[in-house]
């Protein structure tokens, strides 16, 4: 996960050097926001002189997936004090979720402390800061860096996150629905197509997860 985020961080730093922001703005954004997709979108919108409302709304929609992440992990951290939950929540990213969920799902909720989650979050946080700084310092020397296709490393990382979790039909159906709709709805403004695809996929997954009555009960109900 950390290797996959490396070129993504470098490209972000490189984009900052070619935009309207100062270098310290880019590093501060990585320190405070710590969300790769939202940071890329924010830099692009700032370069296009978008209003604050558009900037805020777009990044808000893109980051709504973290609501799903936190809802999944909530039962496993609910026993922790609020200060711990705030710290862990601030470090929640796609990669950290994948690592934490793989660790938590094998054990009953409330039986594990916060340190595995914390270690994953701190590792990814430091990793992101390092590669952002590398892009800020050396990105100007490689102006065509973003055209080399290095951002595919993040796509590969997401594939590594999703594929191991496709262990049941409902998961496969939800993932296929989300992927197809996100593709067909990618032209929607403010990334709303992504949000719509997520909502429909969640509905599909929930519908397929509902327990079904035994066949004999269904037969009796039709009489």
Q: What is the DSSP string of 146-214?
A: GGTTTTHHHHHHHHHHHGGG--SHHHHHHHHHHHHHHHHTTTSGGGHHHHHHHHHHHHHHHHHHSPPPP
**What is the Cα–Cα distance from 6 to 59, expressed in whole angstroms?**
21
Contact 101, 73 (CB under 8 A): yes
Amino acid 162: pLDDT: 82
Contact 21, 47 (CB under 8 A): no
Phi, psi of 35 (to 5 degrees): -150, 100
**What is the Cα–Cα distance from 206 to 71, expressed in whole angstroms?**
14
**What is the Cα–Cα distance from 55 to 196, expressed in whole angstroms?**
19
* Sequence-ordered list of residues with C-beta below 8 angstroms from that of 200, at least 6 positions apart, any chain: 177, 178, 181
Amino acid 119: pLDDT: 95
Amino acid 145: pLDDT: 61
Contact 128, 36 (CB under 8 A): yes
- The span from the first CA to the last CA of the chain, in angstroms, equals 56
Number of other CB atoms surrounding residue 29 within 10 Å = 20
In 61-106, DSSP assigns E strands to: none
pLDDT per residue of the chain (223 residues) written in tens, 0 to 9: 888 888 888 888 888 888 788 899 999 999 999 988 889 888 888 888 888 888 888 888 888 888 889 998 999 999 999 999 999 999 999 889 989 988 998 888 888 889 999 999 999 999 999 999 998 988 766 666 666 666 676 777 778 778 877 888 988 999 999 999 989 998 887 677 887 888 898 899 889 887 765 554 544 455 5
**What is the Cα–Cα distance from 62 to 151, expressed in whole angstroms?**
18
Whether the predicted model's global pTM rises above the 0.75 cut: yes
- Report the b/e string of 166-183 with b at 16+ CB within 10 A: eeeebeebbbebbeebbe
Amino acid 152: pLDDT: 73
Amino acid 180: pLDDT: 93
Amino acid 149: pLDDT: 64
Amino acid 124: pLDDT: 95
* Burial classification of residue 112, based on how many CB atoms lie within 10 Å of its CB (0-12 exposed, 13-18 middle, 19 or more buried): middle
The Cβ-side half-sphere exposure at 201, using a 13 Å CA radius, reads 21
**What is the Cα–Cα distance from 145 to 156, expressed in whole angstroms?**
18
Q: What is the DSSP letter of 1?
A: -
């Amino acid at each position: 996960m950390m290797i996959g985020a490396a070129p993504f961080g470098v490209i972000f730093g490189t984009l900052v050097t070619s935009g309207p922001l100062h270098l310290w703005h880019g590093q501060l954004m990585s320190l405070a926001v710590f969300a790769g997709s939202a940071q890329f979108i924010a830099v692009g919108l700032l370069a296009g002189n978008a209003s604050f409302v558009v900037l805020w709304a777009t990044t808000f929609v893109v980051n709504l997936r973290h609501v799903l992440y936190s809802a999944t992990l909530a039962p496993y951290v609910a026993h922790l004090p609020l200060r711990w939950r705030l710290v862990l929540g601030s470090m929640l990213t796609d990669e950290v979720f994948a690592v934490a969920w793989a660790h938590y799902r094998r054990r009953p909720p409330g039986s594990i402390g916060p340190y595995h989650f914390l270690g994953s979050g701190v590792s990814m946080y430091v990793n992101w800061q390092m590669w952002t700084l590398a892009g800020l310092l050396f990105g100007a020397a490689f102006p065509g860096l973003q055209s080399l296709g290095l951002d595919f490393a993040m796509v590969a990382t997401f594939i590594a996150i999703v594929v191991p979790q496709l262990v049941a039909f409902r998961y496969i159906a939800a993932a296929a629905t989300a992927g197809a709709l996100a593709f067909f709805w990618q032209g929607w403004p403010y990334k709303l197509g992504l949000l719509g695809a997520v909502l429909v996929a969640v509905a599909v997954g929930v519908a397929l997860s509902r327990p079904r009555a035994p066949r004999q009960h269904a037969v009796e109900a039709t009489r």
